[in-house]
């Protein structure tokens, strides 16, 4: 992992491999930064990342993550089923991991969402792949890369 996406004010750093690309997305109100990561060649899916910078208040990260976990405990628009919801900590960060099934543009999809927070920053990484690719060796390899990106993210 030799490339880095550094958020505004160095609120977070996400390392990703040289053979992946990063495209910044338009921000929605309240977001600190947002982007998409995917392999340049042979990508199965993409990782949609959104970051928030919270107020310097006691328990702000824990409270934000608790609200997110409640929000995502049931299927959201475009999803058919929540498969699993596991609470953190994740590599020393507060958070949770959620798996679900859904549909995008007529294609059945598998989603793996990571929500992690530390310091005053929370990052949500949503890894989406076509359901037909889920469980393949290629998916396992790409998925390990995504997990490594999330687990090694530096949040301040």
Domain range spanning residue 53? 33-155
Closest-CA residue to 114 (of 67, 69, 64): 69
- The most distant pair of C-alpha atoms in the chain lies apart, rounded to whole Å, by 44
CA angle 49, 55, 57 (to 5 degrees): 125
Closest-CA residue to 116 (of 84, 86, 82, 74): 86
pLDDT in tens, 129-143: 999 999 999 999 999
Domain-located, residue 94: yes
Q: What is the CATH number of the domain that holds 121?
A: 3.40.1000.10
pLDDT in tens, 91-110: 889 999 999 999 999 999 99
* Prediction pTM value: 0.93
Domain-located, residue 147: yes
Domain-located, residue 26: no
Closest-CA residue to 148 (of 100, 109, 116): 116
């Amino acid at each position: 992992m030799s490339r880095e996406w550094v958020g505004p004010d160095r609120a977070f750093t996400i390392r990703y491999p040289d053979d992946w690309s990063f495209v910044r997305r338009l921000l929605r109100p309240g977001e600190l930064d947002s982007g998409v990561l995917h392999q340049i060649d042979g990508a199965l899916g993409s990782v949609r990342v959104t970051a928030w910078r919270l107020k310097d208040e006691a328990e702000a990260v824990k409270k934000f993550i608790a609200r997110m976990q409640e929000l995502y405990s049931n299927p959201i628009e475009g999803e058919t089923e929540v498969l699993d919801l596991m609470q953190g900590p994740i590599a020393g960060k507060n958070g949770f991991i959620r798996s679900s099934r859904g549909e995008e543009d007529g294609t059945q999809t598998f989603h793996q969402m990571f929500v992690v927070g530390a310091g005053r920053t929370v990052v949500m990484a949503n890894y989406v792949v076509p359901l037909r690719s889920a469980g393949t060796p290629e998916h396992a390899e790409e998925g390990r890369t995504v997990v490594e990106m999330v687990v090694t993210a530096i949040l301040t």
